[in-house]
Amino acid sequence: MIFFYFLIWIMPYDRHPIWDMQIAGLTLFYYVGAVCAVYAVVHLGFRRMAPRFFETWQARLFVASYLIAVISYFTQPFPKLISGPFLTYTALVVLFFVTLSVVDNPKRLRLVLMVFIGSVAFASLYVLREWQKGGGIADFRPGWVVGDSNAFAAIVAISAPIAFYLTRDKRPRWERLFFLGCMGISVLAAILGASRGGFLGLTAGLLVAVYKSRNRFRNLALIFAIVVPILLIAPYSPVQRFLHPTWRDTENIQTRTAAWEGGLHMVERHPLLGVGLGNFKPLVLEYETGTFKEQSLAHNTYLEIAAELGIPALLLFLALLFFTYRTLEKVRRMSSQSKNRFLELAALGMEAGLAGYSVDALTVSIEYLKDFWLVIFLSMCMVSMARAAAKKEEKPALSDASPTLAPEPEQVGSVS
């Protein structure tokens, strides 16, 4: 199991000098994933019950999306190199198998969430160090080690609401302080990264978390106490970019506008099958018709999926988000009835995190974000945990109920 925790720990890094180092064309992430897959196979042999891999709709939709991606990749008229989006999609299938195989009880789920939130906070230290070293440079945005400040802000938008809710669990004080500290460091790093879309996603996720909490005003004040001071002291923040955009910010808006225009033309000309997996950036110049042209990603997850794989693939992705949220809401209700506080809080945090991701995805291409898919797969594991907790709660209730004896029938004598 330690290898799975390590796999989660290195997820936030895209350009780490060690974790992103390639050996025979593959990074360390893929090799650790392979070891985790072997462990998952061995672990399945010791489980009392085999996991229900396709019990939830989001699991079925994920596999269907992968099949569409495979067909698209191997039917497009380009060299079939086993790299890029196809390799990432395949790695996500392995992560799906491993997660559902090994995360089989609430204790492991708690440890996975702790490692996930802790990994984001530790990656934030890299971002803060980059900001410290380059803070004197105008318009400097840290985030090289984590790949991109926009994508990292999306990770924080997912993890921060989960950490926020887990601080309310009745656990040892150090554990609650751990989640609170991780949330504060991560939010600080995300804001210093100055991602406007990421800030909107983070704001949406935290507001949903506050809205679903019991003490809304107190929790809203807590969020303001963490976020507002950072916005005020940061020399280059998302709010500053909104209010006083630089020439680079204006250029970024032009790039996104051109990419969105090209993506819409792709969807218009190839509505069913798209232009092929991973082909948005190589082909976007052919579909941009404005005076400003730029070869880039779509800067919109939904548009990129529709342009590369077609509108049916986009509908599958949207349905996957919907059914994941519905599953988490089901887990929340079941856990509330069975008084399983941890599962209830974890489900609420994931709901808010998905809301943040969904908003952030409007301005960033993050369909391959590993931390996002980890949360999706964890939601699939939580159904059986909530069901088991509900059954455990029913047994004491049945045993405490005193049996009622039926009254003996009155003896009636026969008349001769």
Coil, strand or helix at 276 = coil
pLDDT tens-digit map of 191-211: 888 777 777 888 888 888 888
Q: Is the pLDDT of residue 350 over 80?
A: yes
Q: Is the pLDDT of residue 242 over 90?
A: no
Mean pLDDT of the 203-228 span: 78
How far apart (Å, rounded) are the C-alpha atoms in residues 247 and 82?
A: 39
User: What is the dihedral sign for C-alpha 27, 29, 33, 36?
Assistant: positive
pLDDT tens-digit map of 261-291: 888 999 999 999 888 888 888 888 888 887 7
pTM of the model: 0.85
As given in the structure block, the two tokens for residue 150 are: 């926009």
Share of the chain above pLDDT 90, in %: 32
How far apart (Å, rounded) are the C-alpha atoms in residues 398 and 392?
A: 10
pLDDT tens-digit map of 22-75: 787 778 888 888 999 999 988 888 777 778 888 899 999 999 999 999 998 888
Mean pLDDT of the 115-125 span: 93
Higher pLDDT, 275 or 144: 275
Mean pLDDT of the 284-309 span: 86
Only one residue has tokens 């996104």, namely 256
Determine the pLDDT at residue 416. Answer: 33
How far apart (Å, rounded) are the C-alpha atoms in residues 76 and 160?
A: 39
Determine the pLDDT at residue 64. Answer: 95
How far apart (Å, rounded) are the C-alpha atoms in residues 411 and 61?
A: 66
Q: In DSSP terms, which residues pair with 23 in a beta bridge?
A: 26
Residues in the chain: 416
How far apart (Å, rounded) are the C-alpha atoms in residues 339 and 334?
A: 8
How far apart (Å, rounded) are the C-alpha atoms in residues 340 and 387?
A: 11
Higher pLDDT, 348 or 294: 348
CA R_g for the chain: 24
User: What is the dihedral sign for C-alpha 231, 232, 238, 239?
Assistant: positive
Residue 365: other Cβ atoms inside 10 A: 24
> Residue 78 has what DSSP assignment?
S
Residue type, 211: Y
Residue 106 in contact with residue 342, Cβ under 8 Å? yes
The distance in angstroms from the start CA to the end CA of the chain is 81
Higher pLDDT, 235 or 138: 235
Coil, strand or helix at 245 = coil
Determine the pLDDT at residue 288. Answer: 81
Q: Which of 37, 40, 34, 29 is nearest to 7 (CA)?
A: 29
- Highest mean pLDDT pick, 222-231, 253-262, 399-408: 253-262
Q: What angle do CA 112, 114, 116 make, to 5 degrees?
A: 65
Q: Is the pLDDT of residue 139 over 50?
A: yes
